[in-house]
Structure 1
Amino acid sequence: MIVSSLCHSRVHCQHSSFVTSLFRRGGVRRRHARHVKVRKCDTLVTSSACNPSTFGSVPTGDGLREIVKAAFSEAVTAVLSRGTLVDVNISECSNNVVGDYQCNSAMPIFAELKQKGDTSFSNPRSLAEAIVEAIPGREHLFAQTSVAGPGFVNVTFSASFLAAGVLDTVVNSTDEKIRIPPQRNMSIPKRAVVDYSSPNIAKASEMHVGHLRSTIIGETICRALESFGVETVRLNHVGDWGTQFGMLLTHLHDMQMGSDFAITDLQEFYKVAKLRFDKDDDFKARAQSAVVRLQAGDVQMRKLWEEICEISRRDFEEIYRVLDISIIERGESFYNEIIPLVLDELVKKGIAVEDQGALCIFGNLESTPLICRKSDGGFNYASTDLAALWQRTTQLEADQIIYVTDVGQSKHFEAIFDAANRAGWLDKKDNTKIRLDHVGFGLVMGEDGKRFRTRSGGTVPLRSLLSEAQSRCLESLQTRSSDLDDKELLEASHIMGIAAVKYADLHNNRSTNYVFSYDRMLDMKGNTAVYLLYTHARISTLLSRAEDQDLTSPAHQMVFTDEKERALAVAILKLPDALRAVVQDLLPSRLCDYAYHLCVAYNEFYSTCKVIGSPEEKSRLILCRATVFSLRRALFVLGITPLHKL
């Protein structure tokens, strides 16, 4: 915990202006507040009413956690001294009976004050009580506040505040895309380059399950960044250069083959070429020479290379179409001409040095040097990655560059990033640094605990994996009663199959391995895309029965008469927090958690609260509409197409 005196801190001004403007605008205007009946600290709101137009709307872009943090930051500043900046810690309450959110900053703040000789407060609890009293407009923002134990402050949002936020979600929703301004204290780049997917053309011409993780994780990060207005450049750094092409081109030359072959033929040619490379020294030498000739611009080599790339490209594009991915191909070959310039710069700056005929970059004494030019004069992965990073920092002028690859490449990127930093490529004109991130992910495992492979031990083609998921979804849908005709069932199974595969990957922590299981990902009752899609279809069907009702007027009244309604409202309004977590931590699983818990909250509400024909019909329809809008927005960022009926 850091307590510092910053009389004119920009951060302090942002917190202060936010909370103050919230109350001044009428977000919780006192003279219009209606009575909210609550019992003591552990009681949920049992009844409430509000006029959302009177109370205003939740500030666009702010999730519940950030609203609580802003309120507490201003309260702490008021209690300590003017201009004091404190980074308060806010977390969700593990038990919603206690409250919605908790602030535990009183204890560390008190300890630091005591260390400095400040005796203004007798103990952390007295400090916590003073902070609670200083929260501006707390009786309207929060239905209740309480201090527990040595100084834990628990808060429960008022029903009027939640209702205003829910209605705002409905009034301002037009489609599944979400656009929110950056939140307070959130570092957002203007332009981000995201390097993902990146299949190797010669090694594995047909995309396999290993490429799935990079592709969908990278796409989700892009969409999350774009939800905050970040200009995102999607780059597909395909492996279209290097030793593997030397092997393949030499083998095809020996076979006197042209380019009249299919994608599967290309894979078999590479396997044979790799065996020859490992066992035949003469073939190995010729293959290495072929790489140098290709990189030097040999006309014949280039012609065959272009034909091979085009065969793979057509296959890749079909997969990207199915996955709804739009990405710019910028392979290793793109950087070939600038590699010498980049390496020369590193040599002049004393960062790259020659060692035993190879050009190397040495880090600390314990690390293996980064070889950026081989002893035979050929370039390698490091050469290309250095050139790509230079081009992205100097020509694309990126503020953040994200690489999405397996965790096994972490050391490689650490060395690349270190070299770029030492070369000064990350220094910006405003004295800040370009942010570099390696988003590492684990392996896809089979249910036997080993790497997910075919029965013959080969990699699982992505095309067949997606097709199998779609087939299983079709079988499942056909066994259930449905109003869909055969064509609609087929379309729904295709959407559901793709969604199931994507979500099964994304909802796991990306840095760990996960087990691929069709049975688990197609479970209707678990944390799966199928569960989310059925929930979306359920809400859509219900709302179709009330299409004649206008739910977007800001003059509507909302009434919470059941604790499940309030719980659903809280779940709806956490979307900005979830998106913020994805952008800051680069963990798509945070958004999956939001979508799943939103659906759980809705289904609990639906099973308890009658909607159509109830006295609270209008209010509950607004809750349903806000839920479906929020769910669609989350699904859009996850790259999942919603289903409106099943």
Structure 2
Amino acid sequence: MIAAPVGRALVLLLPPASTFPPPPSPPPPLLFSPFNRRRSSASSLLPSSGILRANSKRSVLAPRSRTISAMANDEETLGSLKKQLAKLFEASLRVTVPTETDVEPLVAACTGNFGDYQCNNAMSLWPRIKGKGTEFRGPPAVGQALMKNIPQSEMIEKCSVAGPGFVNVVISKNWIAKSIQKMLTHGIGEWAPRLSIQRAVVDFSSPNIAKEMHVGHLRSTIIGDTLARMLEFSNVEVLRRNHVGDWGTQFGMLIEFLFEKFPNWEHASETAIGDLQAFYKASKQRFDEDPVFKERAQKAVVKLQGGEPKYRKAWTQICDISRSEFAKVYQRLGVTIEEKGESFYNPYIPGVLEKLSNLGLIEESQGARVIFLEGFNIPLIVVKSDGGYNYASTDLAAIWYRLNEEKAEWIIYVTDVGQSQHFEMVFKAAKRAGWLPADNNSYPRANHVGFGLVLGEDGKRFRTRNTEVVRLVDLLDEAKTRSKAALIERGKDKEWTEDELEQTAEAVGYGAVKYADLKNNRLTNYTFNFDQMLNDKGNTAVYLLYAHARICSIIRKSGKDMEELKKTAEISLDHPDERVLGLHLLQFAENVEEACTNLLPNVLCEYLYNLSENFTKFYSNCPVIGKPEEASRLLLCEATAVVMRQCFHLLGIVPVYKI
């Protein structure tokens, strides 16, 4: 059987501020997710990474501001092994160097043979305490003291000091086993990271109304959904926002073309209008070539913005047709999102600009209203010379709304790297206004999550043979078709029902497309290649899904009741490969936290792939069924499957249970 994708709860629209006019009939929330309404660019500008540091300052700009180091202090709320070790070393630091009160423990996983983790504070501490009457005579002595002053804990088996004071820690295999057993009893939520925020906005996907979603939208939708899932797993309330391009001068053109092509337009259906992309192109051609039509279109914009019912109704119809097309993509990807497009924020712009103007931030320049920002050789234009608004004015209104009405502590924008400078300028303007703290390490905060291009095998932007962009629906359907063909070739159509075959083809095909994107560092371009994506060997979703299915097969063949086994059997990690697998399982939480805080889904992909490799080595060297260690090893198999399934869920991939 195939697991059904887990649905996401939608967040209800909040009422607008009473001091602002209401938005123009905001559309109903979408159950599925859209893409990048902003300008697509191949610029090599890179955004900030969004790394969270432990020595952050507390923001005093708003009562809800919280420092990034304001993590839970009691052991019960510590969600990762690394954090629990850091807690122990924090206590040791307070005893070893009581005068250095601002020192944070520097704990990292080891890759050598000296231990599992390492505390690296000694070298950085020595220059600070040298000459202050200290009893120490160099970093190694500081390291020895740090090791000596670690509070007693059952999690530590032994410690040693190496080189210039590095404190190496070996984690107790019995403690690892108990921790895994506890997770199996209480669920994977036991290992959820504990972040220092309660609510975040993830702005992702955001297509333009009346334009086709294509492969260029793939990255924002997939990356944004994964970031939202990881934050949600970390007990953060996530407002998934689809900032669609549903407002602006192009709608006058579209509405007039609709009136002209369909005199009985109120009854024109999606089928009648046909290909919305072709409809858009035809209206744009008419706009460019016919001055009379252009003048009508410009007047139509004024009527739309003035709220004339006929024009508002036509606008709504065009938007609804687009949404139905977007929904086909989101249904396939299993993505949920709530639409709050440009039209939603438009009524807030005048009030927000007035606030900025009252602060003295907005100046007149060549007929436009702009904000001059230090470090940029161009100003941020917030009102064009013709009096119209633009992306900057809309995005500033959105930031204000998200901070003040939605009470977001972290706002994350997922668009291509070409928009990096735009967001840097918008964020800097928000900082000058006092909406965001001046430093980058306090909350509330905003980050731009940039990503590179999807390339074809020729190294150029991925397109079809006739140079058109690739429709995302067609691409996903082809992935499913190829996946199904591979399953049939393996004879699975003779073993499974048609429903099982369809569901498995979807899970593998769509999962392959997602994982091929997410496993790369998002800042880099990647080449779209179906053969590589659907390969069942190497670092691919197909390989990982098959690995999970094989683990499930091992458990089924044992004939054991796993729920009963969890109550009666105990895990032991006597074989070295059992211990390696157990430790890697326990490092799940810190890897999810790193992927969240640095906004890098590839960290989780790397963890998942290494987990599969560690399991393969364990299973090769540690036979399970029919052996004296069977019960313990079956529990290790179950724990591995549970963690793999949670990784799949965070990546938006549906697991398969037989293959």
SS in 2 for 1:326: coil
Paired letter, 2:251: F
The whole-number CA distance in structure 1 between the counterparts of 2:249 and 2:155 is 63
- 1:163 maps to which of 156, 174, 177: 177
Find 2:149's aligned residue among 134, 145, 149.
Answer: 134
Which of the numbers 216, 227, 230 marks the counterpart of 1:221? 227
User: Would the aligned equivalents of 1:106 and 1:125 in 2 still touch at CA under 8 Å?
Assistant: yes
- Structure 1 distance, partners of 2:225, 2:562, is 37
State the alpha-carbon separation in 2 of the partners of residues 572 and 539 from structure 1.
Answer: 15
* Pairing 1:499-510 to 2, within 5 Å after superposition: 499-510=511-522
Cα distance in 2 for residues equivalent to 1:479 and 1:452: 29
Which residue is equivalent to 1:321?
331
CA deviation after TM superposition for structure 1 residue 170, in Å: 0.9
User: Does the alignment pair 1:249 with 2:265?
Assistant: no
Equivalent residue runs for 1:603-618 within 5 Å: 603-618=616-631
Matched, 1:547 2:563: no
Q: In the TM superposition, what are the counterparts of 1:433-512 in structure 2 within 5 Å?
A: 433-482=443-492, 483-512=495-524
CA deviation profile, 1:365-423 (whole Å, cap 9, x unmatched) = 74322222223232222222222222111211211111111111111112222222222
* RMSD of equivalent CA atoms: 2.9
* CA displacement at 1:473 relative to structure 2: 0.9
Amino acid at match of 2:543: Y
**Could you tell me how far 1:566 is from its partner in structure 2?**
0.6
Residues 1:626 and 2:632 are matched in the alignment: no
Deviates more, 1:275-284 or 1:389-398: 275-284
**Contact 1:338/1:387, CA 8 A, preserved across alignment:** yes
Is contact 2:109-2:118 (8 Å) kept? yes
Distance 2:647 2:245 in 1: 32
Q: Does structure 1 conserve the Cα–Cα contact (< 8 Å) formed by 2:183 and 2:191?
A: no
Give me the identity figure in percent.
Answer: 46
Shift in alpha-carbon separation, 1:61–1:576, aligned structure 2, 3 A: farther
Q: Does 1:568 align with 2:584?
A: no
Q: In the alignment, residue 163 of structure 1 is paired with which amino acid?
A: A
**Residues 187-586 of structure 1 correspond to what in structure 2 (within 5 A)?**
188-202=196-210, 204=211, 206-253=212-259, 255=261, 258=265, 259-262=268-271, 265-277=275-287, 287-364=297-374, 366-426=376-436, 433-482=443-492, 483-544=495-556, 545-550=558-563, 553=566, 556-586=569-599
Q: Distance in 1 between matches of 2:77 and 2:541?
A: 28
Report the TM-score, using the length of structure 2 for normalisation: 0.83
CA distance in 2, matches of 1:15, 1:254: 62
The answer to whether 1:81 aligns with 2:94 is no
Corresponding residue of 1:112: 128
Paired position in structure 2 for 1:39: none
Query: Is the contact between residue 246 and residue 319 of structure 2 (CA under 8 Å) also seen in structure 1?
Result: yes
What CA distance in whole angstroms lies between the structure 1 residues aligned with 2:85 and 2:648?
26
Counterpart Cα distance in 1 of 2:54 and 2:343: 49
Alpha-carbon distance in structure 1 between the residues aligned to 2:116 and 2:109 = 6
1:277: how far off?
Answer: 4.9
**SS, match of residue 360 in structure 1:** strand
Residue identity in the other structure for 2:513: V
Query: In terms of mean alpha carbon deviation, does 191-200 or 60-69 score higher?
Result: 60-69
Structure 1 unaligned spans of 5+: 4-9, 19-58
1:15–1:406 CA distance, 2 compared to 1 (3 A):
closer
CA distances 1:453-475 after superposition (whole Å, capped 9, x unpaired): 11111111111111111111112
2-structure distance, mates of 1:16, 1:248: 57
Partner of 1:45: none
Deviation at 1:237, TM superposition (A): 0.7
Alpha-carbon shift at residue 546 of structure 1 (Å): 3.4
Distance 2:360 2:378 in 1: 18
Conserved 8 A contact 1:72-1:88: yes
On the 8 A contact 2:94/2:101 being kept in 1, the answer is yes
After TM superposition, the structure 1 stretch with the greater mean CA deviation from structure 2, 189-198 or 552-561, is: 552-561
Kindly provide the amino acid, as one letter, of the partner of residue 124 in structure 1: P
Whether the 8 Å CA contact 1:180–1:229 is kept in 2: the answer is no
- Residues 297 and 125 (structure 1), Cα distance of their counterparts in 2 relative to 1, 3 Å cut: same
Counterpart AA for 1:166: I
Native 8 Å contact 2:80 2:193 kept in 1: no
* 2:108 paired residue number: 91
Q: Any idea what the Cα deviations from partners look like across 1:210-233, whole Å, max 9, x if unmatched?
A: 212111211111111112221111
Taking the aligned partners of 1:511 and 1:493, their CA distance within structure 2 comes to 30
In 2: Cα distance, 1:11 partner to 1:302 partner = 45
Kindly tell me the number of residue pairs found equivalent between the two proteins.
588
Match of 2:82 among 65, 69, 85: 65
For residues 382 and 376 of structure 1, what CA distance do their matches in structure 2 show? 15
Q: Give distance in 2, aligned partners of 1:181 and 1:448.
A: 42
Contact 1:167 1:552 in 2 (8 A): no
Query: Aligned partners of 1:552 and 1:105: how far apart in 2?
Result: 43
Cα distance in 2, alignment partners of residues 279 and 12 from structure 1: 59
- The CA deviation string for residues 5-51 of structure 1, in whole angstroms up to 9 with x for no partner, is xxxxx999989864xxxxxxxxxxxxxxxxxxxxxxxxxxxxxxxxx
Contact 1:12 1:85 in 2 (8 A): no
Instruction: Report which stretch shifted further, 477-486 or 216-225.
Output: 477-486
Tell me by how many angstroms 1:583 deviates.
Answer: 2.1
Query: Structure 1 14/308 Cα, relative in aligned 2: closer, same or farther at 3 Å?
Result: closer
Partner amino acid, structure 2, of 1:575? F
Offset of 1:182 from its aligned partner? 5.3
Uncovered stretches (5+) of structure 2, i.e. residues with no partner: 1-52, 56-66
1:178 paired residue among 172, 189, 192? 189
Distance 2:420 2:73 in 1: 41
Contact kept in structure 2, 1:209 and 1:459, CA below 8 Å = yes
State whether residues 471 and 493 of structure 1, in contact with CA within 8 Å, keep that contact through their aligned partners in structure 2: yes
**2:33 matched to which residue of 1?**
none
Alpha-carbon distance between aligned partners in 2 of 1:61 and 1:628, rounded to the nearest angstrom: 23
Q: In the aligned structure 1, how far is the partner of 2:513 from the partner of 2:69?
A: 44
Kept after mapping to 1: 8 A contact 2:68/2:443? no
